[in-house]
Structure 1
């Protein structure tokens, strides 16, 4: 990575930390703007048609949401007669647009389809942290509940029949966003969910980037040994939240929390649509396991056995956590 890229990555992290540590809306807005302006050069690291398009879409969406957010802050500052309910909902609305949550999600798959896996991983994980914290501080519940339902439904249905793995992962991210937003009133729970999701997504995107895989049909054209196939299999099932893999832990905690709050209908919807996400994760694995894998003699990609073993151990660590809790 070039020195300039390290500089922009440092500004990206510092701007997010600034937003998280701020105690007023104006300084949070400044942190978001710094975050946007540092992420755009990262998108434009290799200037071509696709990266320019992704940067332009990202800039327009983020600017529109920031303008709405700033307008609500100014209205609140000059004490115009407007109910706090409307203002909090408008602030939350602007943050949902910035986050790419449904039904304001259309820009997210479009941008991700024009970026590589490293940039997509930053967009799906780190870039969620500051807007989610601000949504937590806004205290609006009605619009969050509606957006949560849309994220879970659209994130599951949108991933069906996708041949682009980047678009599929973007819809998967939207679905997981719904699970995080249902926990938004419990700060320690949604942050734990985001942390575990980020670790799993790092492993998934690392493997896709390592083999330079961007489309579903490429999975049947690469050679993987048995350890790598098992590692990839565990990653996909963990991302789908299937027990006994570690990805089930945040969903398990979410379901327990919702049962304590007696939100049975919402929990039923979330579980049912999670089965749809498991279906398209299984489609990814079927291309790898059930078709004939061909490899070329000119392939120089070597398996990373240490990463694969670490991945298998981490994804199977949930039973160990349960045993330790019982003891």
Structure 2
């Protein structure tokens, strides 16, 4: 048997739990699918002789258990009240239900666990946490929209994700706060058109994969490791920071396209104040990406002669180059496609 065959089993159950939650016709089966997803992800987070991953798995389990208990409370309470009096509790129950899903994806004001858990995981688990684990809760949130509470959470998410990322030296925490900021954009897409957030999420997944792939190959976890590159210095730093700038939404790159779509819809819906907040605080996110890129390329640091030959092979270089070119020229190809149509 394969040495890591248990990972394939838990990955299959992870995907199955998400599909069950999305396709369910009752809230109880939604809860059941989310629990299958949770109990499948916990073993993938654990690593032998690694206290950080065990601590992260425990914190993740406690937070998700709290969110699941809130969802279960909603299910029980919803089944007990009569339909005649249900409108009296509609506002409160929508907030409780939305809060449980926001806690599961680490959205503000329930973001306290997300950066801490990401700091204790490896890059592959972080990629799952930033992408796949958000699908079911976001889709379920679209079923119980409360406009005022959603706008409050959107504003808080973009503020928290932008301000808290300014003084981070850990790349995993940096991406965690960036993910919180992007969640604000995704939820904004749900407010206008439920198909827009899917476009934004797919682009976010692509950008996250392109960044995590590089960091996983070179085993980079902190900014000082990037500053200390010597061999293949300019080429590797270009491969790292151009996807970073694309993730921040700099206009020439591919990451600007989903933000462009949401900006167009917000302008058409006359959400001027919300649009201004999204743009201003995203500029703060782009600022610390640009600051890191500027510091790495142009300032002088004590450089160490590290040997990357074990990681820098032809296959890795080919895959990274594909992601790099797509980030640079993706927006141009999309514009040409729409121009032809």
TM-score range, shorter chain: over 0.9
Using structure 2 for the length normalisation, give the TM-score: 0.92
TM-score under structure 1 normalisation? 0.95
Equivalent position of 1:200 in the other structure: 207
Deviation at 1:285, TM superposition (A): 1.9
Of 182, 192, 195, the residue aligned with 1:188 is 195
1:126 counterpart residue number: 132
Question: In 2, distance between residues paired with 1:152 and 1:160?
Answer: 13
* Residues 290-301 of structure 1 aligned to structure 2 (within 5 Å): 290=298, 291-292=300-301, 293-296=303-306, 300-301=310-311
Deviations 1:78-101 (A, max 9, x none): 116552121111111111111110
2:63 to 61, 64, 89: 61
8 A contact 1:217–1:287 mirrored in 2: no
Deviates more, 1:72-81 or 1:186-195: 72-81
Paired residues, number: 327
2:115, 2:227 → 1: CA distance? 24
Q: Deviations over 1:167-201 (max 9, x none)?
A: 11100000000000111142211011111101100
| SS at structure 2 position matched to 1:45 | coil
CA contact (8 A) 2:123 2:216 kept: yes
Q: 2:48 aligns with which of 28, 31, 46?
A: 46
1:273-306 deviations in whole A, cap 9, x for unaligned?
Answer: 1111111112332343123543235853315321
Q: Return the alpha-carbon distance in structure 2 between the equivalents of residues 275 and 246 of structure 1.
A: 16
C-alpha root-mean-square deviation of aligned residues, in Å?
1.6
Matched-pair contact (CA < 8 Å) for 1:228–1:308: no
- CA offsets, 1:222-257, max 9 Å, x none? 333544333223201110011121100100001001
Q: Give the Cα separation in 1 of the matches to 2:266 and 2:339.
A: 22
Could you say which residue in structure 2 is the equivalent of 1:163? 169
Q: CA deviation at 1:209?
A: 1.0
| Pairing partner for 2:158 from 144, 152, 162 | 152
Unaligned runs of 5+ in 2: none
Contiguous gaps of at least 5 residues in structure 1: none
SS in 2 for 1:183: helix
